[in-house]
Amino acid sequence: MPLRTNEMKVFAGSSNVELSRKIAKYLGMNLGSCRVEKFADGETNIKIDETVRGHDVFIIQPTCPPVNERTMELLVMIDAFRRASANSIAVIMPYYGYARQDRKARGRDPISAKLVANLITVAGASRVLTVDIHAGQIQGFFDIPMDNLWSFPVFSKHLRELGGINIDDLVVVSPDIGGVKRASKFAGKLGVSLAILDKRRPTDDEAEMVNLIGDVKDKTVVIIDDIIDTGRSLVEAAKMLQKKKAKKIFVCVTHAILSGDAKHMLSKSPIEKIFVTDTVPQSDLPENFEVVSIAPLIGEAMMRIRKNLSVSILFK
């Protein structure tokens, strides 16, 4: 009997099933049959209801809040597929929890992003794919291949298709020095100029906008960032740009965590529209929010990984 060639199988964790379904639809596939259950004491239990022996498995599981629970679920899933003799296990983490703990900011701090990378590798993952990882050096924390997708092509396409926005009148704004590379790529894709805000953090949960490098007077500005958490930084950035006579303020952010009263705060801010992706599941968003799906980009990258084609070409 001839050996059967290995198939591509896509499975979803419980953190963002809707996004997983969109990705599977883009790929022209059905999600694999897998159940995430809990024991009485809260322990995670995984039931794989179909054979994966010798197949290439893709697990879609952003580790969004509750981060610890989602991360543990991912690790148990990887272990289950490894023990079921999958040929390879690619972990699709559109949002990488703990990514902001990427260095020792002060003495005796943990580097939790590295710890998570170690856990995923030891569990048995063959490769990892993320979207807009908070710090580029996290790619070096892995001893397995890691691909980081940029969201700017998704946002630039959406802005061009929107009515009422004149691209020639836009200025892309980076909310801090660390986001300049992301903002520069976005500005280059749109063919517009770039401005940079100088942000200082007196404490972990506070942000002050000290200065603006660039001209936004009478311009429509688009702030691009990777994460909205409490929303305070974005509100302060919008107030600074308003003082500098920006005409309209838009925001493009990949991961909308929206902790605490972030939704209310941002709904009352000078920001006209906030575009976010669906890397993190959303509900009850204010009227000035709009969700742009990242599923086609992730689906295309998964297909390219499976066929051993270039992923970086998607961003040229």
Check residue 316 and give its pLDDT.
80
The pair of three-digit structure tokens given for residue 34, joined into one six-digit string: 């897998």
- C-alpha distances (whole Å) from 138 to each of 70, 91, 181 are 19, 15, 16
- 152-292: CATH topology: Rossmann fold (3.40.50)
pLDDT digits (tens, 9 = 90+) for 76-134: 999 999 999 999 999 999 999 999 999 998 899 999 999 999 999 999 999 999 999 99
Interval 159-183 mean pLDDT: 90
Active site residues: 199
- C-alpha distances (whole Å) from 67 to each of 41, 166, 207, 297 are 18, 39, 24, 24
CATH number of 8-150+296-315: 3.40.50.2020
- C-alpha distances (whole Å) from 16 to each of 21, 33, 61, 176, 300 are 9, 16, 7, 29, 18
H-type alpha helices, the chain: 17-27, 67-83, 112-123, 152-161, 180-190, 232-243, 262-267, 295-306
180 exposed, middle or buried (CB, 10 Å; 0-12, 13-18, 19+)? middle
Check residue 205 and give its pLDDT.
58
Residue 188 in 3-state DSSP?
A: helix
Question: Is the separation of the CB atoms in 29 and 57 below 8 Å?
Answer: no
Check residue 308 and give its pLDDT.
94
Question: Is the separation of the CB atoms in 182 and 174 below 8 Å?
Answer: yes
Check residue 292 and give its pLDDT.
97
pTM: 0.93
| Orientation angle between helical segments 295-306 and 152-161, nearest 10 degrees | 140
Report the C-alpha gap between 315 and 225 in whole angstroms.
17
Domain positions in the chain: 8-150+296-315, 152-292
Check residue 217 and give its pLDDT.
94
Q: Is the pLDDT of residue 202 over 70?
A: no
Domains 8-150+296-315 and 152-292 share a fold: yes
Q: Is the pLDDT of residue 1 over 60?
A: no
Check residue 208 and give its pLDDT.
67
Interval 262-276 mean pLDDT: 96
Express the helix, strand and coil content of the chain in percent, nearest 5 each.
35, 25, 40
Q: Is the pLDDT of residue 277 over 50?
A: yes
